[in-house]
Structure 1
Amino acid sequence: MEIKAIPHIELFTDGGAEPNPGKGGFGTILKYKGRQKEFFAGYELTTNNRMELMAVIFGLEKIKTKAKVTVYSDSKYVVDSIEKGWAENWEKNNWTKKKGNLVLNNDLWKRLLTVIKKHEVTFNWVKGHAGHVENERCDYLANLGKNSEDKIKDEGYLDYLEHIEDYQEKSIEKEGDLCRKCNTPTVKKTPKKRKIKPNQSFYFEYYLYCPNCKAMYMVEDAKRDVSDEDTLF
């Protein structure tokens, strides 16, 4: 029985928002054996990074059979997050960063990782606006989407705006604030010894400490200027 060769498809993408955030669009080109298909779409309110992601997702989801796909994107955000394994780590950590806040655009990262698993995908970065034929064409298509009359609502971005506090870094300012790493209430601790180095202009009178994971937080309210008396001995 003859084993059918896996097709090799090239996927070129670009996306953006104007302003950022603002109206957005993406352009996608699929190429296979000399044939080429182009796609674009526009969104009412979104971001550059979301459109760069959507361009790749849309193209991969258009492929109907398992394929070797080479993706070309001018977005370091997209390419590095996949090629350097950052997105996979976010997934393993349940889309939560070390400081306790959610990963931005996790709705699209989930979608991208799901579709990647259906194919053999490699990502390549190309310099934008540098004469790369397909990248320039994708930029043109993205602008068509951006300026189209029938733009789509980016529900994922609207959901982000409703829950923006979950994506922002947790503030540690006073005793009792929750640790960024494990959500345990912090306690105030005073150093047993205070060493002041030559030319040091300030020190911290106390710090906030997590009794569970041992994390330490230096806070602005604990900052003290070094006086002449502090440098006498």
Structure 2
Amino acid sequence: MKMMLFSMEIIDEENNNYKIKISNGIDNSFVEFNPLKKELHFIDNNNLSDFFKGQEYQFRKMLHNKRIDTYYVGFKVKVVIREDKDVAAFNDRSKILVLDKRNNNYDSYAIDENKAEARIHKIYTDASYFEKKNHGGFAFIIEDLTGNYNLYTDKVKDIGSSQAELEAAIKALELLKDIKKIRIITDSQYVRKGLTEWLPIWKLNDFKTINGESAKNIDKWLNFDKVCGEKYIEFQWVKAHSNHFENSLCDMYARDTAKSFKGKM
């Protein structure tokens, strides 16, 4: 994947229209964006502006996701544009997201389910976390190439709901350290998108979000990335509580494990 790093600075504001300067260190481009009306205007015409016009969908998504309170004159952040990214496909939950780290590569892309690997080890995961009690549990099923299932559960504490979802995937991948092709089936968009979209960007922009804040759970994400090794990983999303057999089974066991939590770990 080709990733390009830019600096973005809000330099002026009038009637909720924010003038934004974008720079690659050599050239500058100026745009105007109204976060309330979601209106974007390119002010000048040069090569850098033409590039951002070609990546307008991706650029708009960043601006739309940026919190209103972070729009102010003087705000600065580094942003990353992926030149070949099909944003619509990545946002399509029916698509399978692929992370391919084989041969010292790091690439991600979206594919239709009918183009996914036919023979592949599968991991089904889910987690249950009681935020008020600050503990929970997770469960995952590993399905091998012959269709045999193995179920695993464990308790977690002091990590939060999202991290519990990550922990399930990490533990499953650790058990499949010698397997090169794996599909992770999850109801968590957090798990599905982290390595395929967010982490490559965070590595380039000092682990900052579009709001200028430090990304959360970086140590966990880096560990997730590490256990993927030089693997081919497919991430498939399923809707929670939709009678998907394996997901429902993982949900049931994750909840039972969370409820059985007693004392210190």
One of 143, 160, 171 as aligned partner of 1:58: 171
Cα distance in 2, alignment partners of residues 21 and 102 from structure 1: 26
| Deviation at residue 115 of structure 1 after TM alignment | 1.4
User: Match for residue 160 of structure 2?
Assistant: 47
Q: 1:118 to 1:82 in 2, by over 3 A?
A: same
Query: Match for 1:107: what amino acid?
Result: D
CA contact (8 A) 2:121 2:181 kept: yes
CA contact (8 A) 1:42 1:152 kept: no
CA contact (8 A) 2:177 2:227 kept: no
Larger radius of gyration: 1
CA contact (8 A) 1:16 1:47 kept: no
| Deviation at residue 151 of structure 1 after TM alignment | 7.1
1:105 matches 2:217: yes
1:70 matches 2:183: yes
SS of the equivalent of 2:213 reads coil
CA contact (8 A) 2:143 2:150 kept: yes
CA contact (8 A) 2:124 2:185 kept: yes
User: Match for residue 207 of structure 2?
Assistant: 95
SS of the equivalent of 1:59 reads helix
Cα distance in 2, alignment partners of residues 151 and 140 from structure 1: 22
Query: Match for 1:10: what amino acid?
Result: K
CA RMSD in angstroms, aligned pairs only: 2.2
Length-normalised TM-score, structure 2: 0.50
Cα distance in 2, alignment partners of residues 130 and 22 from structure 1: 27
Q: Deviations over 1:119-172 (max 9, x none)?
A: 21010110001100000111112123212346776xxxxxxxxxxxxxxxxxxx
Note the residue ranges of structure 1 that are not aligned, 5 or more in a row. Answer: 1-6, 154-233
Q: What is the aligned-residue identity percentage?
A: 27
Query: Match for 2:129: what amino acid?
Result: A
User: Match for residue 125 of structure 1?
Assistant: 237
Cα distance in 2, alignment partners of residues 101 and 76 from structure 1: 20
One of 131, 145, 154 as aligned partner of 2:257: 145
> Which structure has more strand as a fraction of its residues?
2
Q: Deviations over 1:21-71 (max 9, x none)?
A: 721111111001121111111123331101111111111111131321011
Cα distance in 2, alignment partners of residues 79 and 116 from structure 1: 13
Note the residue ranges of structure 2 that are not aligned, 5 or more in a row. Answer: 1-118
Cα distance in 2, alignment partners of residues 8 and 88 from structure 1: 25
